[in-house]
């Protein structure tokens, strides 16, 4: 698996697994019949950042990578607003045209 590249900032963590004993067989299993399932992470060593600082750092990093992956996103949103305005204006004209064409049918 891929190593955790930010482990120095977060600190080392280990996974805790929950198990229970099967009343029929006496084996240690979870409710799916598997030996164990993930419960939570426990902090083994402290990192250079607190939990809140690390969460903010990761949030900022993800937002930057999202922006870097699609730099034209702002332009697309602006264009989308103009397209919706055009469609609304077109809808008004289409409705007025429909009323004009079908006024003699009633």
* Cβ atoms of residues 46 and 11 within 8 Å: yes
What is the rounded distance in angstroms from the CA atom of residue 33 to the CA atom of residue 17? 14
106: β partners: none
What is the rounded distance in angstroms from the CA atom of residue 105 to the CA atom of residue 87? 27
- Does 12 lie in the same domain as 48? yes
Q: Which residue has the higher pLDDT, 57 or 24?
A: 57
- Does 78 lie in the same domain as 64? no
- Does 93 lie in the same domain as 65? no
Instruction: Quick: pLDDT tens for 25-79.
Output: 767 766 666 667 778 899 999 999 999 999 999 999 999 999 899 889 889 999 9
- Does 53 lie in the same domain as 19? yes
- Does 81 lie in the same domain as 56? no
Query: Pairing state of beta strands 37-43 and 20-21?
Result: unpaired
Domain hosting 93: range is 72-106
- Does 78 lie in the same domain as 57? no
- Does 51 lie in the same domain as 7? yes
* pTM for the structure as a whole: 0.56
Structural domains counted in the chain: 2
């Amino acid at each position: 698996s891929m190593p955790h590249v930010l482990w120095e900032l977060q600190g080392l963590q280990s996974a805790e697994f929950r198990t229970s004993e099967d009343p029929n067989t006496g084996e240690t299993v979870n409710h799916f019949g598997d030996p164990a399932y993930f419960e939570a992470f426990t902090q083994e060593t402290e990192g250079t950042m607190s939990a809140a600082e690390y969460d903010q750092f990761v949030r900022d990093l993800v937002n930057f990578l999202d922006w870097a992956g699609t730099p034209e996103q702002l332009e697309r949103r602006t264009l989308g607003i103009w397209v919706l305005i055009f469609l609304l204006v077109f809808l008004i004209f289409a409705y007025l045209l429909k009323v004009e064409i079908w006024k003699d049918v009633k």
